[in-house]
Homo-oligomer: A and B are copies of this chain.
Amino acid sequence: MSTTASTQDSGGARTEVQREQLSDVVVRFAGDSGDGMQLTGSQFSNTSALFGNDLSTLPDFPAEIRAPAGTLPGVSAFQVRIADYDIHTPGDAPDVLIAMNPAALKTNLGELRKDGILIVNTNDFNKRNLIKAKYEANPLEDDSLEGYRVIEVELQRLTRQSLEELEIDNRSRDRCKNLFALGMVYWVFSRSLDPTIAWLEKKFAKKPVIAEANIKALKAGYNYCDITGVFQTRYEIQPAKLEPGTYRSINGNSAFSLGMVAASRRSGLPLFLGSYPITPASTILHELARYKQFGVTTFQAEDEIAAVCAAIGASYGGSLALTTTSGPGLALKSEAINLALITELPLVICNVQRGGPSTGLPTKTEQADLLQALYGRNGESSLPVIAPATPADCFDAALEACRMAIEHMVPVIFLSDGYLANGSEPWRVPEVEDLPDLRRAFAERPAEDDDSFMPYRRDEKTLARPWAVPGTPGLEHRIGGLEKEDVTGSVSYDPENHERMVHLRAEKVARIADSLPPLEVTGSPEGGPLLVIGWGSTLGAITGAVNLAHAEGLPVSRVHLRHINPLPNDLGEILARFDKVLLPEMNSGQLASVLRGRYLKDIVTLSKVQGRPFSRGEILAAIRQHLES
């Protein structure tokens, strides 16, 4: 709520309720894993999206399926920022925090902004829960909450009360208390209940009592605010002025899945996914498994190696082949990725990064698999790496990954992360005919007397070899993981041939740079004292920070990389135009080391390795610091 433009309007209000216009607001729902916080947050987001706000979300859930109720590791949270303008991040500090129990309060209070609104469910603040949350004293009873606008609500009692007449047990009643809370939030932000009511009716179509209970609780929460006047102010956030079009809210894994289906259609190739479940990538498998009417084959393999190998087999057979995983799984696939690389078969490897090393922080986000993606294979094995920048960008980046794979006959790594995978934002749905045309012909049966088919004869421009799929008469040939002779593809141990092939494979990837659009530099493209460069999911926080810096009049510019390998042709020149270059990344400086080596330019890392994304404030502070020193 930092950049609010508030007006007062006590016109028709029954009590002294004021109306305030806000430009943006950050709300965080926090509770036990069993409290339905992800659902509650999603509903608030969707309703706001339908209303026309721009928004950005950040779910945050524990590694355990259901850690013991009431404990600190069991807390699940969902943050959403809604705004009447174009925003890029789910916000730094929440303006409003809903805490369903002591553990949720404990883990989330620290980030609530000073003077923020705090809604607490007092019924859960009993001795047992306080102990589980490792509170020595009841924070509601000492001065812990000073400086916040605390709204204490007996959520459990009130919800039960509102559902008294329904023939359900108390446990079922209690399960509705998140809807009661949501109703309250809807009231505060002057939102319609209709989208959520419609959604509940659909979701519980087969259990009408449950639908009714949830809807009743929702309305009760809303009415509770109306009647009791617990809030003195209602807020309004106007719709954002977005580009005209049809919008939907989408998270990164969904956008990626749709992008792959679109690529399948636009290339005319059936999509084949070989995958082994792993957080935070599994939902791509789940989503694509539902698209059988698009001819999508999903194969849940026995492990990551089988998953990528099956994808390689499918690619060999002429499918658009995909494998999805996260860090430890990418490590396992590395040997096989090199098989695709040397046999020059198209393949998309989607790696949704999470906190490492080893099992690490499986449900948290990080960008620390970059060097693994670039270099984690034996021998010289350069392959394209692309990193989407926002949840919705996963759609376009998927198409671009497929373009590179098909056009150049090469495995491509798509480097998403947990934040993109689960975070959502409004997405302007594109027209199908505007999507890139990805058709590429398979090698065709040669004329009867033509013996000249050469599986490693290359296209002059792309250096791609022909895609000669089994079943084509006359193209019978053998490929494999041993080094092959240039042009013929026969096994070759010849020293010079090996060197030539190493160069050809690298050059094929390097040439992709020629097909990339020029980079866009925001700020002063002609150069200046400071450039902030980012890649992948830091786009939002960096853009937000640079916008804030511009508002302060700071001379900072910004450029964002989507293609990590090959690097864009114009990058070197751009870097050279700036005195200082700052690179925020959610690792210890991985891309910085690559760029430094490539361009011999001193690039300063702003590192964050905490399993959560940058805030704008962190980056803004670094910008200020580097402009001063």
Residues of chain A at the chain B interface (Cβ within 8 Å): 62-63, 73, 326-328, 330-332, 334-335, 338-339, 341-343, 353, 355-364, 366, 368-369, 371-372, 374-381, 480-483, 493, 495-496, 498-499, 502-503, 505-506, 587-588, 592-598, 600-602, 608-612
Contact = CB atoms under 8 A, between A and B. Distances in A.
Nearest to A497: B610
10 contacts: A328-B335, A338-B356, A353-B378, A356-B377, A357-B379, A498-B609, A498-B610, A502-B609, A593-B594, A596-B597
Nearest to A369: B378
A366 B495 CA distance: 11
A589 to B, nearest CB: 9
How many subunits of this chain does the assembly comprise? 2
Contact of A379 (B62, B358, B596): B358
A482 B597 contact: no
Contact of A375 (B326, B330, B374, B506): B374
Contacts of A499: 608-610
A332 B380 CA distance: 17
A355 B609 contact: no
Given A369-B378, A378-B330, A611 B493 contact: yes
Contacts of A356: 338, 377-381
B335 A335 contact: no
Contacts of A481: 358-360
A593 B506 CA distance: 15
A380 B361 CA distance: 12
A361 to B, nearest CB: 5
Given A331-B334, A360-B481, 10 more contacts: A342-B359, A342-B360, A359-B480, A366-B379, A371-B371, A371-B374, A493-B611, A499-B609, A593-B594, A596-B596
Contact of A335 (B332, B493, B505): B332
Contact of A587 (B330, B359, B380, B495): B380
A357 B504 CA distance: 13
Given A356-B381, A378-B330, A361 B608 contact: no
A228 to B, nearest CB: 37
Contacts of A369: 378-379
B357 A378 contact: yes
Contacts of A341: 357-358
Nearest to A357: B379
Interface centre among A327, A357, A480, A506 (most CB of B within 10 A): A357
Contacts of A372: 334, 375-378
Nearest to A353: B378
A308 B60 CA distance: 34
Contacts of A380: 356-357, 368, 587-588, 609
Contact of A328 (B62, B328, B378, B588): B378
A84 to B, nearest CB: 31
Choose among A62, A341, A355, A596 the residue with the greatest number of B CB atoms under 10 Å from its CB: A355
A477 to B, nearest CB: 17
A378 B368 contact: yes
Nearest to A600: B600
B377 A357 contact: yes
